[in-house]
Each structure stands twice: as structure tokens, then as C-alpha cells.
Amino acid sequence: FGSSESGQKAQEWFNERIAATLTTDDIGKHLVIDTETGEFELDANKYQASRRAYLKRPEAQTRFGVKVGYRAASTTVGWWRDGEAKEHGL
């Protein structure tokens, strides 16, 4: 999760609330955590997980994404604009 403040908060949410809900079937899925509330989305498609997290709380300042079972996944930074979901096949 890294040493940034958002990474540390995401790690706390993961340890306290999320880890116990995951199964071996979730390995390889993308997990997006709202670091302010601890709400999260999980999906095999990182864009789907990110989009659902955004739709839950568009005003969120920080979301943290990881790939379950991996030390590194990828970074997705930005926001959704009207029509952008179509560009990603969503």
C-alpha cells in the first residue's frame, strides 16, 4: 500500500474491514478503496471497479487501488467525464 498517507489509510481499512471479506476467488481482482470512508469496490475489470467507486461517492478526494494478491498492480488517477465510460467499454 506504500508509505503515503492515503496508502496508510487504505492499509488500515483493508486490515480492519476488507481482508476478512476476500476469498481465494478474489485473487487477481482489482480493489478500489475510498480512503475517507472505507467503502470499496472489487472487480476483475479495474475500470469497472473504479467507475462504481466513483459513482458511489463522486466527491471523494482519494481512492486507492490494488490488485488482490499482488504486491503491485497499476495506478489509475483521474476522474470520469461524460461519455468516458464508453471509451473503456463500460
Percent of the chain with pLDDT strictly greater than 70: 76
20-59 burial, b at 16+ Cβ within 10 Å, e below that, comes to eeeeeeeeebbbbbbbeeebbbbbeebbbbbbbbbeeeee
Q: Is the model's pTM score more than 0.85?
A: no
Give the end-to-end CA distance of the chain in Å, rounded to a whole number.
Answer: 27
| Residue 8 to residue 40: CA distance in whole angstroms | 15
C-alpha cell at 67: 490488485
With 90 as the cut, is the pLDDT of residue 74 above it? no
CB 79 within 8 A of CB 85: no
Other beta carbons less than 10 A from residue 14's beta carbon: 20
Q: What is the dihedral of CA 5, 79, 40, 1, to 10 degrees?
A: -30
Position 81 confidence tier, pLDDT thresholds 50, 70, 90: low
Per-residue pLDDT at 84 exceeds 70: no
Instruction: Flag whether pLDDT at 77 surpasses 70.
Output: no
